[in-house]
Structure 1
């Protein structure tokens, strides 16, 4: 079963005066939503308050998000200066994000750039992929390559060239390569922990204040299939 984050079990991947990166667990929500569950942003604030014995309110800026059933690198800003600069970097796609996905079927090619037009259905919280542009759709581009052939599955590495709602999940489903556990996008059964085998593996960027290149890598969950990935 899933082990959601608390201030005492956070997997901190990187931390300095301006940034903190967490290895998100299955079930964590990055920012508050209608469920009322405590979001990762508040858990990180609790961690900072306790670690540095801060008496007042802790500042923490949400830079980007991951879907609740996914895992991997989530970056937060600890200062307003860092948040402003990170928001600009993410908007202008000056970061390099790499994902790992375990999928059911073999992709048509060992590596490829795939383009779809995604149309979001807010009521279903789902995005549909089309080969050609349709009304209210947005162009979605990603690159993938097969990293490893597992027993009954394939490990893919994915780089996003655009950032769309459920982009990886929707585009891989359109290739007939649904992600393990992802019922919403065509996999035939759920995972025991309610998650899916999609992991934000790494995040590379120029530090918004120090101007140094940093590359943050998130270990995969301690789980049977992920443990087969080398």
Structure 2
């Protein structure tokens, strides 16, 4: 969420003021944000023709990516060995051609000795923290941390439906259908079914929706999305495992799922001294605040 305190020598239209302050938005995105109830003037939805004046407060509940310059990389942390970046929803981590997180990282590394490579992945529709190694040694160390489950990952998500109980640990086995690109949770192991474990806690509820904090204990393909769908609480905006009627009604194009927090253990390797024992956390996505305040139901 972006908060703007109006400072203007005379009253001016809301759309004109926002376009002057945030020219990268564009009128099309402003109109889209208004339709989706993501612009509030002094706490209320108002037409873009409304005049604002000094002392007014404008709150924009929009993705951070709308305010970025094209092809930019949003660094959370970086040194010569490790990069931690915030991926926007809708951007693939890698792609054979066209825009991707890895392509942006390689562009950012031009003229330096860094050779960024992905240590793990996020689905295209998921936002949040992605870890990249910039050297062979860092890649070996970081991927080993992930393999040993010493790197703890926490997510925030909004589900269509309230989990019962409000907190718990989901188990079972995840079966992957590679041809269809989907997974499902099954009760028994099998040739394609691997054990999965997901811990969740409800932070807030609003009407039909719940805001959850989720910790990955195992890390399988689409694990959180499939696990929440398996208990009747699919993630809002998830077109593969979710409720598409609700997604359209609430104007969610991508899943309301964010890789929010990353914990590094104490590490002895000098290459990882900068991240040793550190916790990195993003601001809550705009939709989390709307659920907490009861504005999204």
Query: Which deviates further from its counterpart, 113-122 or 4-13?
Result: 4-13
1:170 Cα shift?
Answer: 0.5
Matched with 1:13 is: 76
The structure carrying a bigger helix percent of its residues is: 2
Q: What CA RMSD, in Å, does the superposition of the two structures yield over aligned residues?
A: 2.3
Number of aligned pairs?
Answer: 221
Q: Can you list the C-alpha shifts for 1:8-40, whole angstroms capped at 9, x where unaligned?
A: 63221111221111111011111224xx33221
1:212 Cα shift?
Answer: 2.3
Q: Hey, what's the Cα distance between the residues in 1 that align with 2:134 and 2:219?
A: 23
Matched with 1:82 is: 138
Which 5+ residue runs of structure 1 have no aligned equivalent?
A: none
1:112 Cα shift?
Answer: 0.7
Q: Hey, what's the Cα distance between the residues in 1 that align with 2:204 and 2:174?
A: 28
After TM superposition, the score normalised by the length of structure 2 is 0.68
The question of 1:109 aligning with 2:168 is answered no
Q: Hey, what's the Cα distance between the residues in 2 that align with 1:23 and 1:153?
A: 25
Please tell me whether Structure 1 or Structure 2 has the larger radius of gyration of its CA atoms. 2
1:28 to 86, 91, 98: 91
Matched with 1:195 is: 254
Q: Hey, what's the Cα distance between the residues in 2 that align with 1:43 and 1:6?
A: 12
* Cα contact 2:80–2:114 (8 A) shared by 1: no
Q: Hey, what's the Cα distance between the residues in 2 that align with 1:8 and 1:186?
A: 30
Q: Can you list the C-alpha shifts for 1:105-143, whole angstroms capped at 9, x where unaligned?
A: 111112111102111111221101112334421111111
After TM superposition, the score normalised by the length of structure 1 is 0.87
Q: Hey, what's the Cα distance between the residues in 1 that align with 2:159 and 2:252?
A: 17
Question: In structure 1, the residue corresponding to 2:264 is in which secondary structure?
Answer: strand
**Which gives a bigger RCO, structure 1 or 2 (Cα 8 Å, sep 6+)?**
1
Matched with 1:228 is: 290
1:207-222 correspondence runs (5 A): 209=271, 210=273, 212-221=276-285
Matched with 2:224 is: 168
Q: Hey, what's the Cα distance between the residues in 1 that align with 2:70 and 2:262?
A: 22
* Cα contact 1:7–1:44 (8 A) shared by 2: no
Q: Hey, what's the Cα distance between the residues in 2 that align with 1:31 and 1:143?
A: 28
* Cα contact 2:92–2:124 (8 A) shared by 1: yes
* Cα contact 2:174–2:195 (8 A) shared by 1: yes
1:6 Cα shift?
Answer: 6.3
